Amino acid sequence: MLNSSQIKLIQTAVRAAGLRSKDQDGRYRLLLAQYKKPNGQLVSSCKELNNSQIEDLLAICEAYGWQMPGKSKGYYQTKRALNTGYASFAQQAAIGHLAGDLGWNEYQLGGMLKRMTGGDVSNVAELGPNQAYKVIEAMKKMFSRQVGKQYNNMQQIKEGMKNNGKR
């Protein structure tokens, strides 16, 4: 849920970028309609946006000339560019290894990815870096519960598996 300062920031940015005025609301509504809620419905109010969607919206406003006070020119555009792309090979491999350690097949892993990404992704290769990080952390917790031991990183899991003779 957005706080009042985030809502004010969005409203200020879309007006300064010329995407919304007192008489013209259509462009702003079309812009909001490109985003989806977790249940798959289209967003109709800025109050329904998540943090990633807010950053994307602010990056669009920057492209139309708005600039966040106190931030460098193109701050949100640069931030969005750094957060796009796909998970690294190491992240994809870690997810694959953890899925194997949990005894999952590709359909079980795909189902978990769909649940964690709101139905957007069902294949490890399509995950973004932030999504992959969240999936890895969730799988580490599942593995820790399964074996009854807390692990902090992949190296500890690998060493624990060696010591138990499972690898």
| pLDDT score for 167 | 44
pLDDT tier at 135, thresholds 50, 70, 90: very high
Supply the pTM of this predicted model. 0.52
pLDDT in tens, 139-164: 988 888 877 776 677 777 777 777 76
What's the whole-number mean pLDDT along residues 35-63? 87
| pLDDT tens by residue, 79-114 | 776 665 777 677 888 898 899 888 999 999 999 999
Q: What is the pLDDT of residue 101?
A: 87
Q: 133 or 81: whose pLDDT is higher?
A: 133
3-state secondary structure the chain: CCCHHHHHHHHHHHHHCCCCCCCCCHHHHHHHCCCECCCCCECCCHHHCCHHHHHHHHHHHHHCCCCCCCCCCCHHHHHHHHHCCCCCHHHHHHHHHHHHHHCCCHHHHHHHHHHHCCCCCCCHHHCCHHHHHHHHHHHHHHHHHHHCCCCCCHHHHHHHHHHCCCC
Provide the residue ranges of all domains of the chain, joining segments of one domain with +: 4-83, 89-163
pLDDT averaged over every residue in the chain: 84
